[in-house]
Amino acid sequence: MVVMHEELRHTVDYIWENHQRKTITDADHHAVHRALELLTAGELRAAVRGNDGTWRAVEWVKRAVLLHFRLTPSRPLEAGALHFYDKVPLQDGWGEKGVRVVPPGAVRHGAHICRGVVLMPCFVNIGAWVGAGTMVDTWATVGSCAQIGERCHISGGAGIGGVMEPIQATPVIIEDDVFIGARAEVAEGCVVRKGAVLAMGCFLSASTKVMDVTKGNAISHGEIPEGAVVVPGSIPAADGTHSTYALIIKKYRDESTDARTALNSLLR
């Protein structure tokens, strides 16, 4: 049963409001730890459903979660006795490399992960490059030799295609400051230029038509221009018999886009 924890709420709110100027005490650690314990036990929730069916975030609980990242340094963790049978070993030694890896995030030998990268439980294949400050989110895959720039966000379940299969494929390039939305897929050597944004569920292959409605509905293939904000759509066939999946450049990055794609620095 979800119960109220008024005293804990006040403590968490106080730490949240003051954490940048106050000395963090054992009691602060304990409060945040307690909130996480209660979440684990199902006695707290980060969002609650109102009587009218609408859901509302419980802000202080979210604050406790964020404070955990602020208050807790990374440390070596074990994810049980995992065993594999493969030709390419997985990398380790992340602490020294300045990379945070959430289990069971896996990086194969031969991939380069720059300092400051955060790897959620994802898979990075051999030959890939992941630039400094990038986050590869849960169940995202970075294919062999794919090149990801700095400060990118590869969202949950997104797929960045590699060059291994099919054999003729060229690597996908994701330039700096790109946002790839959840479950999106970029394959076949496509290039996503600096700062571009792919909404969730965008699929980009070499054949996908990319229509820029800001530029007279110009159609291109294989490349997303710098700063473009791209959403899934379709283009009707000339004879009107059907429509074909396409990507639509709706606009170029603005404040709204920046706000919706910003990485939460507290989680880094």
Ligand X SMILES: CC(C)(COP(=O)(O)OP(=O)(O)OC[C@H]1O[C@@H](n2cnc3c(N)ncnc32)[C@H](O)[C@@H]1OP(=O)(O)O)[C@@H](O)C(=O)NCCC(=O)NCCS
Distance CA(118)–CA(152), nearest Å, equals 10
Taking contact as CB under 6 A, which single stretch among the options 13-21, 38-46, 226-234, 237-245 is the one that binds ligand X?
A: 226-234
Under rule CB under 6 A, which residues in 184-213 are in contact with ligand X? 197, 199-200
Q: Which is nearer to ligand X, 28 or 137 (CB)?
A: 137
Taking contact as CB under 6 A, which single stretch among the options 42-50, 69-77, 162-170, 251-259 is the one that binds ligand X?
A: 251-259
The conformation of residue 157, written as its DSSP 8-state character, comes to T
Q: What residue spans of the chain are helical by DSSP H?
A: 6-18, 26-40, 59-71, 94-97, 255-261
Chain CA centroid to CA 150, Å: 13
Distance CA(53)–CA(107), nearest Å, equals 42
Please confirm, yes or no, whether 222 is among the known catalytic residues.
Answer: no
Q: Which is nearer to ligand X, 191 or 229 (CB)?
A: 229
Query: Which residue bears the tokens 């720059």?
Result: 114
- Inter-residue contact 140 to 158 (CB < 8 Å): yes
- Say which residues have a Cβ less than 8 Å from residue 225's Cβ, sequence separation at least 6: 193, 196, 212, 249
User: Does 155 help bind ligand X (rule: CB under 6 A)?
Assistant: yes
Instruction: Work out how close the CB of 262 gets to ligand X at its nearest, in angstroms, rounded to a whole number.
Output: 10
| Residue-level length of the chain | 268
User: Does 36 help bind ligand X (rule: CB under 6 A)?
Assistant: no
User: Does 120 help bind ligand X (rule: CB under 6 A)?
Assistant: no
Binding mask 135-154 for ligand X (x = CB under 6 A): --x-----------------
Selecting among 185, 188, 189, 195, the annotated active-site residue is 185
Selecting among 105, 149, 157, 162, the annotated active-site residue is 162
Please confirm, yes or no, whether 137 is among the known catalytic residues.
Answer: yes
Starting at the edge strand found earlier in the chain, the sheet holding 185-186 runs 106-107, 123-124, 141-142, 159-160, 185-186, 203-204
Query: Which residue bears the tokens 């291994």?
Result: 164
User: Does 232 help bind ligand X (rule: CB under 6 A)?
Assistant: yes
Among 110, 116, 156, 222, binds ligand X (CB under 6 A): 156
On the 0-12 / 13-18 / 19+ scale of CB atoms within 10 A, 238 is: exposed
User: Does 260 help bind ligand X (rule: CB under 6 A)?
Assistant: yes
Number of residues in contact with ligand X under rule CB under 6 A: 17
Taking contact as CB under 6 A, which single stretch among the options 13-21, 61-69, 81-89, 225-233 is the one that binds ligand X?
A: 225-233
Active-site positions read 137, 162, 185
In the complex, the residues that contact ligand X under the rule CB under 6 A are 137, 155-156, 181-182, 197, 199-200, 229, 231-232, 250-251, 256-257, 260-261
